[in-house]
Amino acid sequence: EAGVAQSPRYKIIEKRQSVAFWCNPISGHATLYWYQQILGQGPKLLIQFQNNGVVDDSQLPKDRFSAERLKGVDSTLKIQPAKLEDSAVYLCASSPRGSLGEQYFGPGTRLTVT
Amino acid sequence: AQRVTQPEKLLSVFKGAPVELKCNYSYSGSPELFWYVQYSRQRLQLLLRHISRESIKGFTADLNKGETSFHLKKPFAQEEDSAMYYCALLFGNEKLTFGTGTRLTIIP
């Protein structure tokens, strides 16, 4: 089966610019996650979708970050405006219903904000 | 609040020697713990979970509720074990909290 797809793989922007990331989960996976991984740290959950509804976005900086999962499949994560501290790898993951913690990760998007 | 601690950022072990990657957790609920691994140039992937009590690639991990630990062990290290290892705690509605990771290097 095809894995989780993400694009772009790399992005360099200047602070105050906007950027968007795209994720296509594994077919049939109901749950989709966006993580932020800053260098030297573990992945930190930003937002979790169940189908097209938000389950948890408690750690999403909502003043600048937004995410949507239209039709319960693909998802986009947007940052507007970006700050220097947003430089990180953004990981998308998906899991089937009742996965008990087994998540499948995409390759990630490495964002550099200058 | 839930927390996962991996005290070693870096660990170097000679090939054939035993490996132990430490993981401690704090969680008020019933813990479910996992080890995820990221090999060079590959995606983060699940290695093993405590509820299955299985051995994957020679690795095992036992949940010790008294010591709140879930250390990952392998009796004889192999060069292909070199990777980044993350301990993770499942909580809430299928959410994972990850530790900061340990980079394991196997010395030939």
Mean pLDDT of A52-72: 93
Q: Which residues contact B49 (CB under 8 A, 6 or more apart)?
A: A100, A101, A102, B32, B33, B34, B35
Is the pLDDT confidence value at A100 over 80?
A: no
Q: Is A101's CB within 8 Å of B88's CB?
A: yes
Sign of CA dihedral A13, A71, A103, A3: negative
Paired sense of beta strands B102-107 and B10-14, if any: parallel
Please answer whether residues A104 and A33 qualify as being in contact, where contact means their C-beta atoms are separated by less than 8 angstroms. no
How far is Cα B71 from Cα A9, in angstroms, rounded to an integer? 33
- Residues in chain A with CB shorter than 8 Å from the CB of B99 are 42
Tokens of B98: 């990850």
Q: What confidence score (pLDDT) does residue B54 get?
A: 85
Sorting pLDDT into bands at 50, 70 and 90, what band is A33? Answer: very high
**Average pLDDT along chain B, 108 residues, taken 10 residues at a time:** 94 98 92 94 94 88 92 97 97 88 97
Q: What confidence score (pLDDT) does residue A77 get?
A: 98
Nearest CA-CA partner of B28 in B2, B55, B65 = B2
- Residues in chain A with CB shorter than 8 Å from the CB of B23 are none
Q: What confidence score (pLDDT) does residue A1 get?
A: 60
Q: For A31, which of B4, B49, B94 is closest by C-beta distance? A: B94
Q: What confidence score (pLDDT) does residue A73 get?
A: 92
Higher pLDDT pick, A33 / A71: A33
The maximal CA–CA distance of chain A, rounded, in angstroms, is: 40
- Residues in chain B with CB shorter than 8 Å from the CB of A55 are 93
Contact of B97 with chain A, judged by CB distance below 8 Å, is answered with yes
Please answer whether residues B103 and B21 qualify as being in contact, where contact means their C-beta atoms are separated by less than 8 angstroms. no
Q: What confidence score (pLDDT) does residue B42 get?
A: 95
Nearest CA-CA partner of B25 in B50, B45, B4 = B4
Within 10 angstroms of residue A20's Cβ, the number of other Cβ atoms is 15
Q: Which CA distances in Å does B105 have to A74, A101, A107, B10?
A: 36, 27, 22, 8
Q: Nearest CA to CA, how far is B100 from chain A (Å)?
A: 4
